[in-house]
Structures are given as C-alpha cells and as structure tokens.
Amino acid sequence: MRHFGVRHRFCTQTLGVDKGYKNQSFYRKHFDTEETRVNQLFAQAKACKVQVEKCTVSVQDIQVHLAQGHVAIVLVNSGVLHCDLCSSPVKYC
C-alpha cells in the first residue's frame, strides 16, 4: 500500500505471530516456518516505514470508515463468521 502511495492504517491484535495458535491443527504442521516468515514481514514493515498499530478495531469503527466512502481490508478467523441467510458457519453455507 505504501509503495503505491495509498494512505492506510494497519491494525493488528499481535505484532508478529500469536503463539496461542501453535497447537491448533490448522497451523501445527507449518507453525515454526510461518512464525519466522511472519515475524520477518513485521520487521520489514518497520524498516520500510510502514506503520503497524497493535490495536483492535470494532465493527462500529469499520462501519463508520466505510460510510465515509473509504475501503476496508479485514482479515478475520473464518471460525467466527456466520451466514445471515442460513445461520450456519460460513464454510458450510
């Protein structure tokens, strides 16, 4: 984003890898490799003057941001998403 001159705000709950995911089956096989890769990317971001904030953004914050005509790129754990049409977890919809 910075490379293309796009003003943005990068918010994350953890600066680097959250070790709490290490024993979850989805991450277990490649966790150590991914931990190194992700931590290197966070280090590179700082070196490239990409501002990364450790913070949580509420749904209301995102709604206000979108209502002002801005774009939001939001990465979430699919396990917390639910379909409004069928009330099922998204992966089963």
pLDDT band at 84 (very low <50, low <70, confident <90, very high): confident
Dihedral sign of CA atoms 52, 90, 61, 55 in order: negative
Q: What is the mean pLDDT of the chain?
A: 85
Residues 11, 85: Cα–Cα separation, whole Å? 29
Q: Does residue 93 have a pLDDT over 60?
A: no
The pLDDT tens digits for 8-48 are 889 998 888 888 888 888 788 889 888 999 999 999 988 88
Q: By the 8 A CB rule, do 21 and 68 touch?
A: no
Q: What is the pTM of this model?
A: 0.65
pLDDT for 92 equals 58
Radius of gyration of the chain (CA): 16
